[in-house]
Amino acid sequence: MSNRLYSIVSKVMDVPESEIGDQSGPESIKVWDSLNLYMLIEDIEAEFNVKFTMEEILEIKNVGHFKKLLANHGCELNE
Amino acid sequence: MTKEKKLSAYTLESKKINVLDFKKQIRIALLSSFTLDGLDETIKVKCAEINVGCHVFSGGYNQYNEEILNTKSKLYAFSPDICFLILDIRDIFGDLFYSPYNLSVEKRREFIQNKVDELVNLAKSFIEKSNSKFVISNFAIPTYSPYGIFENKTDYGLQEMVFDLNHKLNNAWKSENSVYFYDLNGFVSRFGQNNVFDYRQYFFGDLKISLNHIPFLANDLLGFIKPILGFNKKCIVLDLDNTLWGGIIGEDGFNGIKLSQNDPIGKAFIEFQKYLLSLHERGIILAVNSKNNLEDAIQVIKEHPNMVLREKHFSCLKINWNDKVINLQEIAQELNIGLDSILFMDDDQVNRDYVREALPEVLTIELPNDPSLYALKLTELNDFNVIKITGEDKKRGEMYLQQRRRTEFQKTTINFEEYLKKLNIKIHIKKADEFTIPRISQLILKTNQFNLTTKRYQEEDVIRFSQDEKKIVGCALIEDKFGDYGITGVFIVNKDNPEEWVIDTFLLSCRVIGRGIEEGILDYIINISKKNNVKRLVGNFIPTKKNKPSESFLPNFGFKKENNCWVYSLKNYSKKPSHLLVLGE
- pLDDT score for A66: 94
**pLDDT at position B403 over 70:** no
The answer to whether B124 and B177 have CB atoms below 8 angstroms apart is no
Of B62, B64, B103, give the one whose Cα is nearest residue B83: B64
At B407-462, the pLDDT tens digits run: 332 233 356 677 777 778 889 999 999 888 888 988 888 788 899 999 988 888 89
The answer, yes or no, to whether residue A70 has pLDDT greater than 70, is yes
Report the C-alpha gap between B484 and B538 in whole angstroms: 31
Chain A nearest C-alpha distance from B214 (Å): 11
Q: Strand B565-569 vs strand B536-539: parallel, antiparallel, or unpaired?
A: antiparallel
Q: What is the CATH number of domain A3-13+23-72?
A: 1.10.1200.10
Task: Find out whether B247 and B241 touch, Cβ atoms under 8 Å.
Answer: yes
Q: Give CA–CA dist B533/B535, Å, rounded.
A: 6
Of residues B177, B228, B183, the one with CA closest to residue B87: B183
For residues B480 and A60, which has the higher predicted lDDT (pLDDT)?
A60
Q: How many CB atoms lie within 10 A of CB B99?
A: 12
Q: What is the mean pLDDT of residues B546-554?
A: 90
Is B227:B387 a contact under the CB 8 Å cutoff? yes
The type of residue at B301 is: I
Which residue from B minimizes the CA distance to A36? B8
Contact residues, chain B, for A39 at CB < 8 Å:
6-8, 11, 38, 211
Share of chain B above pLDDT 70, in %: 94
Amino acid present at B105: V
d(CA B409, CA A55): 70
Residue B181 φ then ψ, to 5°: -105, 125
Q: Residue B135: beta bridge partners?
A: B84, B180
Task: Please say whether the dihedral angle defined by the alpha carbons of residues B11, B136, B195 and B198, taken in this order, is positive or negative.
Answer: positive
Query: With an 8 Å Cβ cutoff, are A42 and B8 in contact?
Result: yes
Residue closest to B539 by CA, chosen among B567, B511, B578, B508: B567
Characterize the bridge pairing of strands B471-480 and B425-431.
antiparallel
A10 touches chain B (CB under 8 A): no
Distance from the A55 Cα atom to the nearest Cα atom in chain B, whole angstroms: 11
Side-chain-side CA neighbours of B424 within 13 Å: the count stands at 5
CA B400, chain centre distance (Å): 22
Tell me the average pLDDT of chain B: 90
Sign of CA dihedral B349, B350, B353, B354: negative
Is B383 within 8 Å of B343 (Cβ atoms)? yes
pLDDT tens, position by position, B336-348: 788 999 999 999 9
Measured CA to CA in angstroms, residue A76 lies from A65, A79, B110 at distances of 15, 8, 58
Burial B401-417 (b: 16+ CB within 10 A, else e): beebeeeeeeeeeeebe
CA–CA dist B75, B64 (Å, integer): 9
Between chains, do B212 and A54 touch, taking CB under 8 Å as contact? Answer: no
- Residues B130, B162: contact at Cβ < 8 Å? no
- Check CB contact under 8 Å for B11 and A34: no
Nearest neighbour of B7 by CB, restricted to A14, A39, A57: A39
**SS3 assignment, position B454:** coil
The pLDDT tens digits of the residues spanning B216-262 come to 999 999 999 998 887 889 899 999 999 999 999 999 999 999 999 89
Name which of A7, A12, A39 to mutate to probe chain B: the one with the most chain B Cβ atoms within 10 A of its Cβ.
A39
Taken in order of first residue, the domains within chain B and their CATH numbers are 7-229 (3.40.50.1110), 235-414 (3.40.50.1000), 423-583 (3.40.630.30)
Confidence of residue A37 (pLDDT cuts 50, 70, 90): very high
d(C-alpha B261, C-alpha B263), whole Å? 5
Cross-chain Cβ contact A36/B11 below 8 Å = yes
Task: Give pLDDT tens digits for B149-203.
Answer: 888 888 999 999 999 999 999 999 888 878 999 999 999 999 999 999 999 999 9
> Does A36 sit within 8 Å of B6, measured CB to CB?
no
DSSP state of B53: E
Q: Map residue B506 onto helix, strand or coil.
A: strand
Contacts of B202 (CB under 8 A, 6+ apart): B208
Q: How many residues does chain A have?
A: 79
In angstroms, what separates the C-alpha of A74 from chain B's closest C-alpha? 22
Question: For the range B484-487, what are the long-range contacts, defined as Cβ-Cβ under 8 Å and sequence gap of 24 or more?
Answer: B485/B509, B485/B511, B485/B512, B486/B439, B487/B430, B487/B436, B487/B439, B487/B440, B487/B443
Partner residue facing B211 (CB), from A38, A54, A57: A38
User: What are the boundaries of each domain within chain A?
Assistant: 3-13+23-72
Cβ contact B207–A38 (<8 Å): yes
Q: What 8-state DSSP symbol labels residue B327? A: H
The continuous run of DSSP H or E covering B450 comes out as strand B450-451
What pLDDT score was predicted for residue B566?
94
Angle between helix A34-48 and A3-13 (nearest 10): 150
Cβ pair B204:A54 closer than 8 A: yes
- Which residue type occupies B504? D
Closest residue on chain A to B200 (Cα): A54
- Half-sphere exposure (CA, 13 Å, Cβ side) for B331? 33
